[in-house]
Structure 1
């Protein structure tokens, strides 16, 4: 895929979307080949301790998610390991899960930086092309940590296919990493859009409403249901705009533009703290940090920012 194509895709502008690894699914069932890749001199490994990414301090101002094989061994015993794929230069890339109890010990080492995944992305602590692979590694490793027992019989499971499935040692059932679909929508009415906030948001920040897709729903109907449940709005046309991998812990955000059939809002106050219609001028001021009341929109890492920006720029479908 060319750089020009990626620039036309709104999805490519979202956080965690820039993942250039060739995942090489064809190698996952070849343990001898993967073992050989693991011990190559150019192999690089990303590490997560419990839920905390471990960063390699290259200098006072530069960090990386990647460790050489020897450096990774010095971090501690790997509870799980996954083959992430091959980098553009042909070097193998892996992810390792370390015991969460090692966070304090590793955090005391000056050559390391331990912090949460959101901070890694928002503060740009590592090169942009490393954020996506780190999100991939954390999502799959987190799935391993949560699925040590079989959902079918309760027996213990072990990792297989180079970390891309778990196999029950009792009944033989196979389990695969899951991705939970979430619809996130910018609801519009005429020349205004609905933005809302939850109590956990940063002060003054308003965003799009969102919710998980339920069994038996199309994406469009999930948008309509969530808009009705959270804001009391009936929705007509729903158009897809972009998507975003969201490894908190393992979602895919599906961004849509939804046209409301009316403008009377009834907020679900158990979900939301506030919400209202905003004009284009107001939203532009929020994006540019000059809103008179100090209101703001999510940072570019979030697909909500992408949805709002596309609406402001008139590039919605």
Structure 2
């Protein structure tokens, strides 16, 4: 797709300056740079400011001293060095707790040490409104901090590892094993037949929410093979030609969505209830109504997700 990288989290040409990660003295100097900024995260939620932009603060802001682990170096841009830090140890006031069991956590938490108007918010709720640079930084920060929180212990010997390479590695002090942030590839596919697309919904999704089918890739599998396998497993629909469209980092917690389009060879759906709650063929006309908000049964995909990006481009005949 010609406009593939305009998808949310699609990239902003951030200079990640990877060559500096192994130079702790230079990273320390960057942290002390008056132009350095950091975005705090709390339990996976980035800070946003009163205008709805990413809630950057000076890298020497007092609140950042409460971080459980060292600041992570995200890179540099025209404003200066950029970092993130995890403030998950902070306990909000009673009644401001998140809602982890819900599909979407609409609660916001305000840290008393952050500037007025700053609050922690679910990234899904704000991602489509962030600038390309803020979106890339937020996705990177959320994925890295999530990895550190879930991979504290060495998978080789079980001992606790430590942060290295400015936050881009963990090293085990006991056995010397080096661990790197993980990214899990997921195929998400627009399967078409004539004028219609195959959409499905998972159990627990909000009423009326349908999306492109998706699933994790398996070891030793090509993207094209994964598309055909996932569609067959979930709906028994056979898929022929498959081609790549676009990709999207998806930090929930650490996926890379590989968008593709495939041609269905048949249209009979035999649903696997362990995979999907429902699946249906949706015409272009019905999809256009869903995006307009006036379809009686289908709601538009969440803003910012690659599924909506692909479907909008399908409606506009821009999948080339």
TM-score normalized with structure 2 length: 0.88
Deviation at 1:103, TM superposition (A): 4.1
Q: 1:268 aligns with which of 242, 253, 272?
A: 272
Deviation at 1:241, TM superposition (A): 0.5
CA distance in 2, matches of 1:68, 1:260: 52
What residue number does 2:73 align with?
Answer: 83
CA distance in 2, matches of 1:191, 1:246: 29
What residue number does 1:96 align with?
Answer: 85
User: SS where residue 208 of structure 1 aligns?
Assistant: strand
Gaps of 5+ in 1: 1-6
**Pair 1:55 & 2:48 matched:** yes
* Closer/same/farther in 2, CA of residues 271 and 112 from structure 1, 3 Å limit: same
**Pair 1:281 & 2:292 matched:** no
Contact in 2 for aligned 1:65/1:134 (Cα 8 Å):
no
What residue number does 2:27 align with?
Answer: 34
What residue number does 1:9 align with?
Answer: 3
What residue number does 2:152 align with?
Answer: 148
**Which 10-residue stretch deviates more, 260-269 or 102-111?**
102-111
Q: 2:210 aligns with which of 206, 217, 230?
A: 206
* Closer/same/farther in 2, CA of residues 103 and 8 from structure 1, 3 Å limit: farther
Contact in 1 for aligned 2:31/2:60 (Cα 8 Å):
no
What residue number does 2:314 align with?
Answer: 311
What residue number does 1:169 align with?
Answer: 173
Gaps of 5+ in 2: 95-108
Contact in 2 for aligned 1:14/1:300 (Cα 8 Å):
no
User: SS where residue 8 of structure 1 aligns?
Assistant: coil
* Closer/same/farther in 2, CA of residues 75 and 230 from structure 1, 3 Å limit: same
Per-residue CA deviation, residues 192-224 of structure 1 (Å, 9 max, x unaligned), is 111111232222121101000011111111101
What residue number does 1:118 align with?
Answer: 124
**Pair 1:297 & 2:300 matched:** yes
Structure 1 vs Structure 2 CA RMSD: 1.9
Deviation at 1:78, TM superposition (A): 1.6
* Closer/same/farther in 2, CA of residues 98 and 202 from structure 1, 3 Å limit: same
- Give the number of the structure whose residues are more often helix, by fraction: 1
Deviation at 1:271, TM superposition (A): 2.0
Contact in 1 for aligned 2:182/2:254 (Cα 8 Å):
yes
